[in-house]
């Protein structure tokens, strides 16, 4: 029983791995992806969201720097901000969303990439995937993983919230592990 967790661009990787795991089906046996946690995913797209416009020049990672990162990462000949690694909302890329594992999404109030992460969660919920969004006020991208912010109240609450959610997917035969 495997729970994938990714932070920022690692959330994109976790989601991409989950999609590939769904596509391969039983080829991964005995490994089964039972859930994923996407912490402030590094999602982008060709059509800007409200938060991408409003917060583009905000804290830590501004949009210009992130666009440079995507230009360095995505295939040069096929460069598109709607590449499946960058934008999980483009139809026709990967398996149907209804087959995706339960997906917890963590977003920060002051993160310019938040709207697309929330929209992805909404699309998962529309097809009955357990996909809650945990939004943290007065928080920035990487608020729960950046060393200087680890002791913040939001980071502490986030760690507890994730632990509570994950327990229901890693328990055996419905019995919670005790820690």
Reported as a single tens digit per residue, the pLDDT across 122-172 is 999 999 999 999 999 988 888 888 777 778 888 899 999 999 999 888 876
Q: Which of 8, 51, 83, 110 is catalytic?
A: 8
**Range(s) of the domain holding residue 128:** 2-170
What whole-number distance in Å separates Cα of residue 122 and Cα of residue 112? 18
Residue 11 falls inside a structural domain:
yes
| Residue 57, CA distances (Å) to 118, 128, 137, 149 in order | 20, 35, 18, 20
pLDDT tens, residue by residue, 64-92: 777 788 788 777 787 888 888 888 988 87
The answer to the question of residue 70 being in a domain is: yes
The one catalytic residue in 110, 111, 115, 121 is 111
- Spot the catalytic one: 51, 115, 121, 141: 141
Is there a domain that residue 129 lies in? yes
Do the domain assignments include residue 178? Answer: no
Does the annotation count 111 as an active-site position? Answer: yes
178 is catalytic: no
- Asked whether residue 26 is domain-assigned, the answer is yes
> What total number of domains does the chain contain?
1
Number of Cβ within a 10 Å radius of residue 107: 24
8 as an active site residue: the answer is yes
- Identify the CA nearest to 18 among candidates 45, 36, 43: 36
- CATH number for the domain harbouring residue 112: 3.40.50.1820
User: How far, CA to CA in Å, does 116 sit from each of 14, 42, 100, 110?
Assistant: 16, 9, 17, 13
Q: Which residue has the tokens 């590449």?
A: 83
The C-alpha atoms of residue 23 and residue 99 are separated, in whole angstroms, by: 9
**Would 24 be classed as within a structural domain?**
yes
pLDDT at 177: 46
pLDDT per position as a tens digit, 90-110: 887 778 899 999 999 999 998
Reported pTM:
0.86
Extract the tokens encoding 17: 């791995």
What percent of the chain clears pLDDT 90, i.e. is strictly above it?
41
**Do the Cβ atoms of 80 and 46 come closer than 8 Å?**
yes
The reply to whether 73 falls in a domain is yes
């Amino acid at each position: 029983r495997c729970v994938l967790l990714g932070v920022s661009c690692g959330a994109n990787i976790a989601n991409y791995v989950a999609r590939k795991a769904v596509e391969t089906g039983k080829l991964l046996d005995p490994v089964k992806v039972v859930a994923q946690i996407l912490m402030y995913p590094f999602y982008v797209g060709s059509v800007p969201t409200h938060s991408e416009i409003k917060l583009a020049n905000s804290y830590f990672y501004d949009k210009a720097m992130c666009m440079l990162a995507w230009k360095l990462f995505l295939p040069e000949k096929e460069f598109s901000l709607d590449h499946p690694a960058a934008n999980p909302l483009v139809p026709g890329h990967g398996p149907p969303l209804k087959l995706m594992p339960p997906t917890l999404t963590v977003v920060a109030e002051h993160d310019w990439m938040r709207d697309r992460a929330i929209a992805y969660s909404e699309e998962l919920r529309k097809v009955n995937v357990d996909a809650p969004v945990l939004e943290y006020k007065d928080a920035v991208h990487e608020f729960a993983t950046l060393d200087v912010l680890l002791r913040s109240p939001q980071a502490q609450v986030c760690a507890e919230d994730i632990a509570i959610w994950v327990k229901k997917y890693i328990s055996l035969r419905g019995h919670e592990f005790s820690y």
